[in-house]
Amino acid sequence: MNIDGSCAMVVGGASGMGRATAVRLAERGAKVAILDLPTSNGAEFAAQLAGNAEFFQCNVTDLAAVESQIADAVTALGALHIAVNTAGGGVSKRTLSKDGPHPIEDFASVVHLNLIATFNLNRLQAWHMSQGEPVDGERGVIINTSSIAAFEGQIGQVAYSAAKAGIAGMMLTMARDLGSLGIRTTAIAPSLFATGITSAIPEDMAAALTKDAAFPRRMGVPDEYASLALAIIENQMLNGGTIRLDGGQRFGPK
């Protein structure tokens, strides 16, 4: 996929890994739609990208509203070739605690935010991509955000691990579903990255959390996610898998 002149959508694009990816895409000549919560600074951020970006309010948990929000963004872009989805989050609760079983409402909420919302985005993004004309046989590429917690979830991450593992588990099947249309689907599974509240973690605590990494033994930074996202976009052979972005780290139990 040639980034220059393409139309890209970044969901969760007002901050962190999404923001870094939006910057990189705009710098490389893509027209970018930034979708994020109305409480975000997405409008101000989009204005900083020199006319190459526009902000659209989007709460990914509102499944019905997302359909029209994505349609509005694609109409403004004129087409859709690239979609990067970084919205998500979780809670820390054990399967059993002194207060009793993990609240099922909390489990369902985390799965809804991370897994169901991601699939909802994917099915809609793929539909809009399918309406375009292929270039070199390709109509689009979708990049989702999993986590290494999908593979080595820590104590208290049972809901988050299930949701992120679900994202990883969808990728090959979805790639097969969409392959005849020339649409690729891939996920990135980051380790601990300096985004949001984690960016405020003290240096000594960050060192302790990343001490088991091979190299580098530090938190990732958003631009490293963005760099991988652009590599996926440009390489047609990257499809159907989940790529770890973790410096060789394997999470311990806690």
Question: Average pLDDT of 145-162?
Answer: 97
Which two tokens mark 107? Answer: 């489990």
Task: Give domain status of residue 78, yes or no.
Answer: yes
Cis peptide preceding 190, ω within 30 of 0: no
Task: Give domain status of residue 211, yes or no.
Answer: no
pLDDT in tens, 214-224: 999 999 999 99
Task: Give domain status of residue 131, yes or no.
Answer: yes
User: For residue 155, what are the domain limits?
Assistant: 7-202+219-245
On the question of pLDDT at 197 being above 90, the answer is: no
Task: Give domain status of residue 212, yes or no.
Answer: no
Task: Give domain status of residue 213, yes or no.
Answer: no
**Domain harbouring 95, CATH code:** 3.40.50.720
Residues 211/225/195/167 CA torsion (nearest 10 deg): -90
Active-site residue flag, 160:
yes
Phi, psi angles (nearest 5°) of residue 144: -105, 170
Task: Give domain status of residue 153, yes or no.
Answer: yes
pLDDT in tens, 131-143: 999 999 999 999 9
Asked whether the beta carbons of 92 and 157 are under 8 A apart, the reply is: yes
CA-derived radius of gyration, the chain? 18
Task: Give domain status of residue 124, yes or no.
Answer: yes
Q: Which of 160, 193, 225, 251 is catalytic?
A: 160
- Spatial distance between the Cα atoms of 53 and 34, rounded to a whole number of angstroms: 7
Q: How many domains does the chain have?
A: 1
Task: Give domain status of residue 72, yes or no.
Answer: yes
How much is the pTM? 0.96
- What does the pLDDT read at residue 100? 98
